[in-house]
A and B are shown apart, each in its own frame.
Chain A
Amino acid sequence: MAMTNKELHGTEEHEHEPVRIRGLPFFPHFLLREVVVMCLVAGSLILLASVYPAGLLKPADPFDTPSPIYPEWYFLYVFGFLKFWTYNIGPIEAKIIGVTVPMVLWYGLLILVPFIDRNPSTDIRKRKIAVVLGIIALLGILYFTYYSIVYH
């Protein structure tokens, strides 16, 4: 039902002016659609949990280092970069760079994104630099994640 409503509204096109008024009322149409999405997500989580339950290895033993040790998948790129970067820059040790770049500099850069990118356009065709940099960053993260697994 929410869908038909959307179709009805979707027929008029005003591309380049603010369109805050048109659209579905939050209640009940928008909420209904949200509830459907929520049911799908919750259902998938329960399915995943039943098919692949959370694991539990042997109890922690400070005197027995297992191998390999993997962190959570979203930290792999940090490990990958640390392994990858073996070059000292002047007096700065390679290891310092290896931890500072993916943790401190990377997050600092992320926070500054809206202040670095002063281009007011939201049209993706007029944001070539931002788009290219974004794709490079994504590929970099993927590459270092891959690196951390392969050169473990």
Chain B
Amino acid sequence: MTLSKTIYKWLDDRFKLRELLPPIVKHPAPEYAVSNPLYCLGGTAFLCFLILATTGIFLAMYYKPTPAEAYKSVERIMLEVPMGSLIRSVHHWAANTMIAAVMLHMIRVYFMGAYKRPRELNWVVGVFLFLTTTTFGFSGYLLPWDQLAYWATKIGTGIAGSIPVMGQYISLILIGGNDLGAETLTRFYAIHVLILPAAIITLLLLHFLMVRIQGISGRL
């Protein structure tokens, strides 16, 4: 018996893999979805997310979320940390690619009418995924604490703050004071690495569960 068979049998004895795996592994992917590259966009967005999570963990090992240290730590990642520049640049490009892929995925779902009954709720979850993804971008933009980061966030929070009714609370929650500063930076960091990942993982679980239960919609 080969090693892989031995391991399979050992697991099978305990977890009944023989009953569990076939529905997952043999589940057919419909051919119209396999042959049309437009159906790759959701998967591409997901792959980008996985790359972002991995590179993000490495960045978090060197990044320091305080106004005094943030810029220096990013500079250090770019100049001194081995592969640091590559990791940060891949994080940067994966973020932009993910947003583009999510937008194109949404456009494909819209024009194929894939949001129609019974998939209405998956579209709603999708819109929240889109919001979460762009908020990831918004919060990550501030973290290097360079001129662009600071001033773009200043304007961005200003705009969000002038939304009627909700605005003042949004800007209070985001800025944590009267002006951008240490509070803002730690908040944005917490949002970027704790709150949004938890949110997106929950939403993705729902999203994929619904796709799995309802199947991919067919026909153009």
Contact = CB atoms under 8 A, between A and B. Distances in A.
Contact of A23 (B30, B90, B159): B30
Interface string B22-35: 00111111111111
A41 interface: yes
B17 to A, nearest CB: 13
A85 B180 CA distance: 27
A71 B155 contact: yes
A90 interface: no
Nearest to A73: B96
A138 to B, nearest CB: 7
Given A71-B155, A107-B131, A127-B113, A96 B164 contact: yes
A21 interface: yes
B35 A114 contact: no
A60 B145 contact: yes
A45 B215 contact: no
B215 A53 contact: no
Contact of B33 (A23, A37, A113, A123): A23
Contact of A6 (B35, B111, B146): B35
Contacts of B120: 114-115
Contact of A113 (B24, B115, B152): B115
Given A19-B218, A37-B40, A122-B219, A72 B90 contact: no
Given A23-B34, A24-B29, A74 B113 contact: no
B130 to A, nearest CB: 8
Q: Which of B34, B43, B167, B215: most chain A Cβ within 10 A? A: B34
B148 A49 contact: no
Interface stretch (B2-10, B133-141, B191-199): B133-141
Contact of B31 (A10, A56, A107, A113): A10
Contacts of A127: 113
Nearest to B120: A114
Nearest to B88: A54
B94 interface: yes
**Chain B, interface SS category:** helix
Given A69-B152, A72-B137, A107-B131, A23 B111 contact: no
Interface residues of A, number: 75
Contacts, number: 209
A69 B155 contact: yes
Contacts of A113: 110, 115, 123
Contacts of B91: 54
B202 interface: no
Interface in B137-165: 137-138, 141, 144-152, 155-156, 159-160, 162-164
Interface in A8-52: 9-10, 15-16, 18-27, 30, 33-34, 37-38, 41-42, 45-46, 48-50, 52
Interface of B: 24-35, 40, 43-44, 47-48, 51, 67, 71, 74-75, 78, 85-86, 88-94, 96-97, 99, 103, 107, 110-117, 119-120, 123-124, 127, 130-131, 134, 137-138, 141, 144-152, 155-156, 159-160, 162-164, 166-167, 179-180, 215, 217-220
Across the A-B interface, give the 9 residue pairs with the lowest CB-CB distance, nearest first.
Answer: A49-B89, A60-B150, A54-B92, A114-B120, A122-B113, A23-B28, A27-B25, A30-B29, A57-B146
Given A16-B219, A62-B180, A121-B113, 5 more contacts: A6-B31, A10-B35, A37-B40, A53-B89, A57-B148
